[in-house]
Amino acid sequence: MSFYILRRVLYAIPIAFGVSVVCFSLVYIAPGDPLQTVLPPDATAETIAIVKHAYGFDKPLPMQFLIWLGRVLTGNFGVSIATRRPVFLEVTDALSNTALLAMFAAPIAFLTGYVMGVVAGCFPGRWLDRVVTGAAVMGVSLPNYWLGIVLVIVFAVELMLLPATGMGPSGSTGFHIYEWSSAKFLVLPVATLAMIPIGILSRTTRAAVAEVRNQDFVQTLRAKGLSEWAVIRHVLKNSLPTVMAVMGLQFGYLIGGSILVETVFTWPGSGFLLSKAIINRDVPVLQGTILTLSLVFVATNLIVDLLQSLIDPRIGRA
Amino acid sequence: MTDDFSIIPAKAGIQGGGALVAALDPRFHGGDGVTKEQTEPLFAQQAPPATRVRGYWQSVFYRLRHDPVTLVFAAIVLLIVLAALFAPLIAPFDPYKESIVGRLKPFGWRGHLLGTDELGRDVLSRLLYGGRVSLSMGVAPVLCATLIGGMLGVIAGFVGGRTNTAIMRTMDVFYAFPSVLLAVAIAGAMGGGMANGMLALTLVFIPPMCRVAETATTQVRALDFIEAARASGAKTMTIIRYHVLGNVLGPVFIYASSLVSVSILLASGLSFLGLGVRPPVPDWGLMLSTLRQSIYVVPLVCASPGFAIFITSICCNLVSDGLRAAMDVRM
């Protein structure tokens, strides 16, 4: 068991290394010189050489990578070209805002999706199952950026119940989660973000529950004379590892893949920061955000795998 | 994920005799990939005509024909594709023609069925033309990724050993990125544009495609009929082309069909972020992004490009579900 945990943790290290290589090379797959954004178009060859040396671009690529990696490991992501603030602060601020959305969206989505999936899986082929399956297909097919716009049209433009974009009323300082004037800015983004995980989770839960119900041990439980409720309890317990794996993946997507929803709601999270960095060609922020988000994703997957091995002893032994 | 359905033979007419390979490879029992000419004489000799078993593809088509839901949604997908293909013939207006007086008009204004956008261009015509860009940006990356990822997966699965480790561990690195993030990162770093967007999506879809192909290949490779084929003197390429590919294409095809809807959503998402096609080319994601500024003026018009994305993606999803059900022998 502890061997499995150790192996899994060690396995995450080369992955994290590979991720950092990809993030580093992002700058170099860009057409043209990465310095183009920093230098004025009429810079002389001499200025270019000086700036190149200052940024370390005159060294060979592997050297540059090692220097960059060394800086990143000590939390030094460089300085944003657009705001002149340290990238590390920009990213952590934005990440906390993204995490706030995920903290609300994840429980709502997981609970709704799980309950829907269990109900559908316990009554396969009945009308409840069809309703859930239909809703789930809609959930996974919805472009969430469009759903966000539709929700804004309904609740902000037509009904004028909720604010359309932003985080907190204009001029307010800080975000106060216990005050409705602040909290109401959360409602639409959270509802939009929750939609896809609900669809995916109810589909997987339904499939997992239906599959476990078809296994022989369920027949044995029934033959033993257990009540239907007790049988369902066994079924749920056995379908949990699959469901948890999907939940973990979806939580990672909520953190790392929220760029579209955050752009729709101009929510100052990591996704919004990323889309601003792309528009401004702000390379240090681009690198820093992508690296942080993907490392969070790697860490989430690791934690989920470990949790899974805790609830399902079969995994650790394999 | 064990997509091993086409590997498990459905017991059919062959009893005893015949080549060992024929007895072991599921497709000789009416599995997949065998053409009618090849199947017919086999069954004619060895099975009585009364209990003639349908070929794999025949039974897939039989099940599809009797699945009205899938048929209806497939028809809608076909309709959308045709509408995009014949956009120049059916579009009521020029998608690039701007009008200063006719900006942001509601549904039905002066023959503009779906209203006009912020530059006075007809939204319906732009949706029809936009379908060409959005659909090709959705389908092309899936095709490329299926070819490249599938090939890598088959190589990794068939060769095994270090090659497998090298290919699959590289894929694992790309798995460590959420798909949206990877697509945005690559497209963003390369500076946007339609070609870069498609390239980014292709790179996003290669790793999962490769994994599906690798899993299927590894499972097939371990089965006895591969060994039997090799013992009977078949060349490696013949084994791969005939015995491996025939059994791997099914899962790969099913997975690719499920990716189309994801790809359309992601492609439009990239355009929505300004990383896909450049204006004034009509594209659903781009239209949604520019019309978003006008939700206070004509909310319904602004929502219509997203509706097109949604309908296309849900229909593709349901057709893919239907295909999966039809191709899954166990169901």
Residue B38 and residue B70 share a domain: no
Which of B137, B265, B328 is most worth mutating to test chain A (most A CB atoms within 10 A of its CB)?
A: B265
Q: If you average pLDDT over residues B98-105, what whole number do you get? A: 73
Distance CA A164, CA A102 (A): 19
- Would you tell me how many other CB atoms lie within 10 Å of the CB of residue A225? 7
More confident residue, A308 or A206: A206
Contact A279 B274 (CB under 8 A): yes
Between chain A and chain B, the number of residue pairs with CB atoms below 8 A apart is 136
- Residue A141 touches partner B, C-beta closer than 8 Å: yes
Can the peptide bond before residue B280 be classed as cis, meaning omega within 30 degrees of 0? Answer: yes
**pLDDT over threshold 70, residue A156:** yes
Distance CA A213, CA A216 (A): 8
Model confidence pLDDT, tens digit, residues B280-330 = 888 898 888 888 887 777 788 888 888 999 999 999 999 998 888 888 765
Distance CA A88, CA A81 (A): 13
Residue A79 DSSP SS3: strand
* Residue B48 belongs to a domain: no
Instruction: Look over chain A and give the mean of its residue pLDDT values, rounded to a whole number.
Output: 83
3-state secondary structure chain B: CCCCCCCCCCCCCCCCCCCHHHHHCHHHHCCCCCCHHHHHHHHHHHCCHHHCCCCHHHHHHHHHHCCHHHHHHHHHHHHHHHHHHCHHHHCCCCCCCCCCCCCCCCCCECCECCCECCCCCEHHHHHHHHHHHHHHHHHHHHHHHHHHHHHHHHHHHHHCHHHHHHHHHHHHHHHCCCHHHHHHHHHHHHCCCHHHHHHHHHHHHHHHHHHHHHHHHHHHHCCHHHHHHHHCCCCHHHHHHHHHHHHHHHHHHHHHHHHHHHHHHHHHHHHHCCCCCCCCCCCHHHHHHHHHHHCCCCHHHHHHHHHHHHHHHHHHHHHHHHHHHHHCCCC
- Say which range, A32-36, A179-183, B268-272, has the weakest mean pLDDT: A32-36
Model confidence pLDDT, tens digit, residues A5-20 = 888 888 888 888 988 8
Angle at Cα A281 formed by Cα A277 and Cα A285, nearest 5°? Answer: 40
Among A15, A147, A274, the residue with its CB nearest the CB of B173 is A15
Chain B residue with CA closest to A140: the answer is: B314
Residue B61 and residue B39 share a domain: no
- pLDDT category, B11, cuts 50, 70, 90? very low
Distance CA B118, CA B126 (A): 12
- Residue B11 touches partner A, C-beta closer than 8 Å: no
- Looking at residue B112, its pLDDT comes to 72
* Residue B51 belongs to a domain: no
- Looking at residue B87, its pLDDT comes to 82
Residue B274 and residue B202 share a domain: yes
Sign of CA dihedral B216, B179, B288, A107: positive
**pLDDT over threshold 90, residue B243:** no
More confident residue, B241 or B21: B241
Residue B282 and residue B191 share a domain: yes
* Residue B50 belongs to a domain: no
Domains in chain B, number:
2
- pLDDT category, B117, cuts 50, 70, 90? confident
Chain A residue with CA closest to B268: the answer is: A143
* Residue B251 belongs to a domain: yes
- Looking at residue A204, its pLDDT comes to 92
- Looking at residue B42, its pLDDT comes to 47
Q: Give how far Cα B15 sits from Cα of B8, B28, B31, B38, Å.
A: 17, 11, 16, 17
- Looking at residue B15, its pLDDT comes to 35
Residue B35 and residue B69 share a domain: no
**pLDDT over threshold 60, residue B225:** yes
**pLDDT over threshold 90, residue B78:** yes
Contact B272 A145 (CB under 8 A): yes
Q: What percent of chain B has pLDDT over 90?
A: 24
Residue B34 and residue B62 share a domain: no
| Residue A249: closest CA among A194, A211, A305, A205 | A305
Q: What is the pTM of this model?
A: 0.83
Residue B182 and residue B161 share a domain: yes
Distance CA A85, CA B290 (A): 30
* Residue B229 belongs to a domain: yes
Residue B90 and residue B21 share a domain: no
- Looking at residue A7, its pLDDT comes to 86
Contact A294 B176 (CB under 8 A): yes
**pLDDT over threshold 90, residue B250:** no
Tokens representing A97 are 């805002």
Residue B271 and residue B134 share a domain: yes
The Cα of B2 is separated from the nearest Cα of chain A by a number of Å equal to 13
Q: What range does the domain containing B34 cover?
A: 4-43
DSSP letter at A302? Answer: H
Q: If you average pLDDT over residues B177-190, what whole number do you get? A: 87
Q: If you average pLDDT over residues A78-89, what whole number do you get? A: 81
**pLDDT over threshold 90, residue A285:** no
- Residue B299 touches partner A, C-beta closer than 8 Å: yes
More confident residue, B30 or B133: B133
- Looking at residue A280, its pLDDT comes to 80
Contact B313, B265 (CB under 8 A): yes
- Looking at residue B141, its pLDDT comes to 95
Distance CA B171, CA B154 (A): 14
Query: Chain A contacts of B306, Cβ < 8 Å?
Result: 143, 145-147, 149-150
The Cα of A207 is separated from the nearest Cα of chain B by a number of Å equal to 12
Query: Residue B258 sits in a domain of what CATH number?
Result: 1.10.3720.10
- Say which range, A138-152, A221-235, B50-64, has the weakest mean pLDDT: B50-64
Angle between helix A127-141 and B245-272 (nearest 10): 60
Query: Chain A contacts of B288, Cβ < 8 Å?
Result: 145-146, 149
Which of B1, B70, B181, B263 is most worth mutating to test chain A (most A CB atoms within 10 A of its CB)?
A: B181
DSSP letter at A4? Answer: H
- Say which range, A66-70, B37-41, B296-300, has the weakest mean pLDDT: B37-41
Residue B89 and residue B190 share a domain: yes
* Residue B49 belongs to a domain: no
Q: If you average pLDDT over residues A154-172, what whole number do you get? A: 74
**DSSP string covering A150-166:** HHIIIIIIIS--S--SS
Residue B98 and residue B36 share a domain: no
Which of A278, A285, A295, A297 is most worth mutating to test chain B (most B CB atoms within 10 A of its CB)?
A: A278
Chain B residue with CA closest to A19: the answer is: B173
Q: If you average pLDDT over residues A234-263, what whole number do you get? A: 88
More confident residue, A40 or A193: A193
* Residue B102 belongs to a domain: yes
Distance CA B198, CA B195 (A): 5
Residue B307 and residue B208 share a domain: yes
3-state secondary structure B305-330: HHHHHHHHHHHHHHHHHHHHHHHCCC
* Residue B174 belongs to a domain: yes
**pLDDT over threshold 50, residue B40:** no
- Residue A256 touches partner B, C-beta closer than 8 Å: yes
